[in-house]
Amino acid sequence: MLLGKKLSFGDTIGIIAPASCDDFDIIEKKIKDFKNLGFKVKIGDHLYDKKGYFAGDDRQRAADLMNMFKDDTVTAIICFRGGYGTMRILPYLDLNIIKKNPKIVCGYSDITILLNYLYKQLGFITFHGPMIKSNFEEENTRESFISALIKGNKGYKIDLNGYSQIEMLNPNNIKGVLVGGNLSLICSSLGTPFEIETKNKILIIEEVNEKIYAIDRMLTQLLMANKLQCCKGFILGYFTPNKEDKTIDNFTITEVIKDRILTLNKPTILNFPFGHEYPNLTIPIGIEVTFDFTNKKINIPHPVVR
């Protein structure tokens, strides 16, 4: 298991955009807000670039990521935003350099593919969590981020008792390694060298702005690829709806999830606070956890940073 060094206030955060671009003013404001948390920042050379919908071309975005791994002054790498394009940089990454310089890597949405690839190839613990563009003023989001990245050198627990929306189904106190993230990206990895491995894993899933039939299609694809049947359990986050989705002659997202996932009779947590809404809790990818259904907690017995 490969761990990055724990984060401390005052450390330097490397900020990159491995996928989509953003406007200069938005980038400036969000970096200023993030620095107010108590960190220094180092900006990727191509963070402000625009090439179509990308923040620079594929090799440039990959170079920004690799340069942060090679820079001894950088403690953690946090993506500015997702969007689309992270998969395109994976062929240009040097895994040997990353292995020799493990650092915290944090992001979500399109960053899903990078998080799971580094875990699969290197046993590298990464973090599905907020990005620079996220709202760190939301207390639970901020505190979860700090607990994982600053205090995560010891085992800890994610207490679910304060979240009334959570449902815990098919209760069984199982152990398993966390993998997953955004549903579209999980499906996009199938049949590629970056395909996600779900056998005996606990799969986390979230999605945003997809119509219900598309979520059904993607979950069905995972079923037909035997990616769901072999899981030990599931943690399902926000499925932020597409506002233009029809309401007549349609299923609800709950009905689709019940049909495609709950029928597998695996231990499942519904409405876990992670994804494209808030709170957006930080979840370590690649670490073994225990479902404690009795006490409504996820136990993380091993360090996630060193």
Catalytic residue among 128, 134, 188, 276: 276
Catalytic residue among 134, 144, 189, 206: 206
| Residue 302 annotated as catalytic | no
Alpha-carbon gap, residue 282 to 50, rounded angstroms: 29
| Residue 167 annotated as catalytic | no
DSSP collapsed to 3 states, the chain: CECCCCCCCCCEEEEECCCECCCHHHHHHHHHHHHCCCCEEEECCCCCCCECCECCCHHHHHHHHHHHHHCCCEEEEEECCCCCCHHHHHHHCCHHHHHHCCCEEEECHHHHHHHHHHHHHHCECEEECCCCCCCCCCHHHHHHHHHHHCCCCCCEEEECCCCCCCEEECCCCCEEEEEEEEHHHHHHCCCCCCCCCCCCEEEEEEEEEECHHHHHHHHHHHHHCCCCCCCCEEEEEEEEECCCCCCCCCCCHHHHHHHHCHHHCCCEEECCCCCCCCCCCCEEECCEEEEECCCCEEEECCCCCC
Work out the number of other CB atoms within 10 angstroms of the CB of residue 164: 7
Catalytic residue among 20, 46, 109, 210: 109
| Residue 109 annotated as catalytic | yes
Give the torsion sign (CA, 285, 286, 287, 288): positive
Q: What φ, ψ does residue 293 adopt, rounded to 5°?
A: -70, -30
Question: Annotated active-site positions, please?
Answer: 109, 206, 276
